[in-house]
Amino acid sequence: MSRTCLAVILAAGDSTRMKSSMSKVLHPVAGQPMIAHVMQVVQKSGIADVALVVGRDAQAVSRAAEVEGLSITSFTQTERLGTGHAVLTAREAIARGYDEILVAYGDVPLITPETLMTARAAMAGGCDVAVIGFHTAKPTGYGRLLVKNDELLAIREEKDASEEERKITRCNSGLMVIDGKKALDLLSRIGNENAKGEYYLTDLVEIARSLGGRAVAVDASEEEVSGCNNRAELAVIEHLWQVRRRHEIMLSGVTMIAPETVFLSHDTVIGQDALIEPNVVFGPGVTVESGAVIHAFSHLEGAHVASGATVGPFARLRPGADLAEGAKVGNFCEVKKAEIGAGAKVNHLTYIGDAVIGAGTNIGAGTITCNYDGINKHETRIGKNAFIGSNSALVAPVTIGDGAYVASGSVITETVPDDALAFGRARQEVKPERAKAVRERAVALKAMKKNGHS
């Protein structure tokens, strides 16, 4: 949009009802602080400048709010005297002379760029104030929007509303856009003659109209303006975010058999024709490419799964796991900071950490890369088309060459050359009748203990 706009983001609340050791806006939704969600939406709506009003955990909130493409100035609110007072904390930024001032909240992370742009577009028609409202079947507790002939007359708080006004189901979200040229004058006229002695931003509507100005309301869905005051509401917002994002991903060409059981992170990327089975959790930093399959009950974080690769069921990919095309990580396997080459198989009950596995290599069941010596991590390198027998322990640092074969049950501590066969186990010995003697001795010992003999 050609009109300039400053976003004033209110994030200074004490978060008392969250009963938390950190600011409310730092609590994550889809693995990302709420405030970061808000800032990303602001940036996507075409706004470049932000005045961030902070209080508790000011430095942490400011860091969490950093988003590429936004120029952010933080202002500290030392007193809590209402929303009008909070916005005026950013007086210095407002005075720069923007066309519009958007007021939003750090605990409303589901707001969309489209809604903010709709509110801004309403201002282009000559409004002084555009309020974002919503319709709800349960309006109790919300301020009501009094609208007549497409003009917003006032925002009436429930305690001040008449019986007829309380029947109104169009409510105030708290978000609004103000004419930037008039903002400081309008804000300075807000009084505190109310029961709490606070300065309410909602008074702007009637103040603007009393000066001959015009106010309008634009609507958002009830879900996207959901705020968060406690842990129960945080869980609701998480649920709403997940439902929205799953829907978007499925419409992009991804199959989810039971989408309600799949949990995504804010940055999860899943390509077209991928299949996600039930009960899969994506932590931050996961990319799943086209045609890959994530089987049920798998957990992925910081991982890359290439086209045609398969994961699980019951697999865990930790940060740094990188599966090439057609690779397979099967049931009850864990991969951490490891490259699994094209077509390679890590099928069952296996741990691969700090490793490079070549294309076409097969890792047998129960294999582990012993990557940690108690102080440092070490790397295991396995070449192409190698075969690692079941129940093998590869003690890093160690290298196993192309086409090499490691016998089952081996402990490998030295380099295995290309095409070599390695045994790392003791020779089997058989003692005839020895098992019978051991068993008889154990039975006798048990009988002695039962009879009170030591």
C-alpha distance from residue 231 to each of 20, 28, 139 (Å): 9, 11, 21
Catalytic residue among 135, 304, 348, 378: 348
Burial readout 338-375 (b: 16 or more C-beta within 10 A, e: otherwise): bbbbbbbbbbebbbbbbbbbbbbbbbbbbbbbbbeeee
Report the C-alpha gap between 11 and 61 in whole angstroms.
8
- Report, in angstroms and rounded to the nearest whole number, the Rg of the chain calculated over CA atoms: 31
The sign of the torsion formed by the CA atoms of 111, 112, 116, 119 equals: negative
In sequence order, the β-bridge partners of residue 22 are none
Question: Does the domain made of 231-422 have the CATH classification 2.160.10.10?
Answer: yes
Distances (CA, A) of 48 to 67, 68, 86, 123: 10, 10, 21, 18
pLDDT computed for residue 250 by the predictor: 98
Per the CB < 8 A criterion, the answer to whether 382 and 388 are in contact is yes
- Per-residue pLDDT tens over the stretch 238-267: 999 999 999 999 999 999 999 999 999 999
The correct answer on CATH 3.30.360.10 for the domain covering 5-220 is no
Phi-psi label, residue 126: left if phi above 0, alpha if psi -120 to 50, beta otherwise:
left
Low-confidence ranges of the chain (pLDDT < 70): 1, 453-454
Q: Are 53 and 65 in contact (CB under 8 A)?
A: no
Element (H, E) at 323: strand 322-323
Q: Is the pTM of this model over 0.95?
A: no
Pairing of strands 129-135, 170-179: antiparallel
Count the Cβ atoms, other than its own, within 10 Å of residue 100.
23
Rounded CA-CA distance 93/186 in Å is 15
Provide the residue ranges of all domains of the chain, joining segments of one domain with +.
Answer: 5-220, 231-422
Q: Which of 325, 338, 375, 307 is nearest to 315 (CA)?
A: 338
pLDDT at 2: 82
Q: Is 247 a catalytic residue?
A: no
CB 102 within 8 A of CB 50: no
Q: Would you call 321 helix, strand, or coil by DSSP?
A: coil
